Copies of this chain bind each other. A is one copy, B any other.
Amino acid sequence: MRPPAVILVHPQLAENIGMTARAMANFGLSELRLVAPRDGWPKKGAHQAASGATHVLTEAKLYPTVAEAVADLAYVLATSARARGQMKPVLGPGPALAEAAARAARGEACGVMFGPERVGLDNDAVALADSLVTFPVDPAFASLNLAQAVLLVAYEWRRASGEARLPFPETAAAPPASRGAVVSLLEGLEAALDAAGHYPPEKRPVMTRNMRDMILRMAPTEQDVRTLRGALRSLTRRRRTSPAPGEGQGEDPLSRMGEG
């Protein structure tokens, strides 16, 4: 499925063209069309801002007019920050790119136009589009950078085209500890707390339950149980004796559970 072309109409700043290329490459777009960039093309500064997305810049095509830039396209979106008084559907980036993806899946060539920094597309350019795309910005601060607008379009394209897989999975969960291992740990902890005089007798049942709830809520793995056993062993050892360096073990309430 062919991703939409990104059409920058009269872009002003080389840096924005470069950052546009980077944003496109981030989400799998590669076809950049430039309509009469203000300061000509190619232009110094664009490559640096592209931060490695040079293939997008070197393959960018240059057009003298908007009409020529969209001539081979069948579905064209025009980004706009304001109403136009033109009777076009107005879509958020999600629905707009979902429509583009549906068209692309049918083999239609699609494109998204972006106007010059600050002023946006003129009405004649908008008249060549099927729909307006606008962004759900805070009205109190609506000025979206050109490359940022391209990024959101590219991001929604990737979502709509079904390519939006995360780059890495969750760390394969280590096997959860058996409930028996967790209970054994809890019994060791409770024994240590008993030995330390921690529990007022009448509160022991509820305090024990609360602690068990808490430990089970963390869904400990076998490794977590070993980590907690080791920490508990060190704490209880310190409580009983303050061993001289290199000296012995003290009494260990966990040793009777055979943990090595």
Residues of chain A touching chain B, judged by Cβ–Cβ distance below 8 Å, are: 19, 22-23, 25-28, 51-53, 81-90, 92, 134-145, 147-148, 151-152, 155, 158-159, 163-171, 173-174, 221
Contacts and interface: CB of A to CB of B under 8 A. Distances in A.
Given A19-B145, A141-B52, A83 B26 contact: no
A158 B141 CA distance: 13
B83 A169 contact: yes
A123 B44 CA distance: 38
Number of copies: 2
B151 A26 contact: no
A168 B25 contact: no
24 contacts: A22-B143, A22-B148, A25-B138, A26-B148, A27-B136, A27-B137, A83-B168, A83-B169, A84-B171, A86-B171, A87-B221, A90-B169, A90-B170, A92-B166, A135-B167, A136-B163, A136-B165, A136-B167, A138-B163, A139-B167, A147-B148, A148-B151, A152-B152, A152-B155
A141 B85 contact: no
Given A22-B141, A87-B221, 8 more contacts: A25-B140, A51-B145, A82-B168, A83-B169, A87-B173, A135-B155, A148-B148, A152-B155
Contacts of A152: 151-152, 155
Given A27-B138, A51-B145, A87 B167 contact: no
Contacts of A89: 170
Contacts of A163: 136, 138
B134 A53 contact: no
A136 B158 contact: yes
A87 to B, nearest CB: 5
Nearest to A165: B136
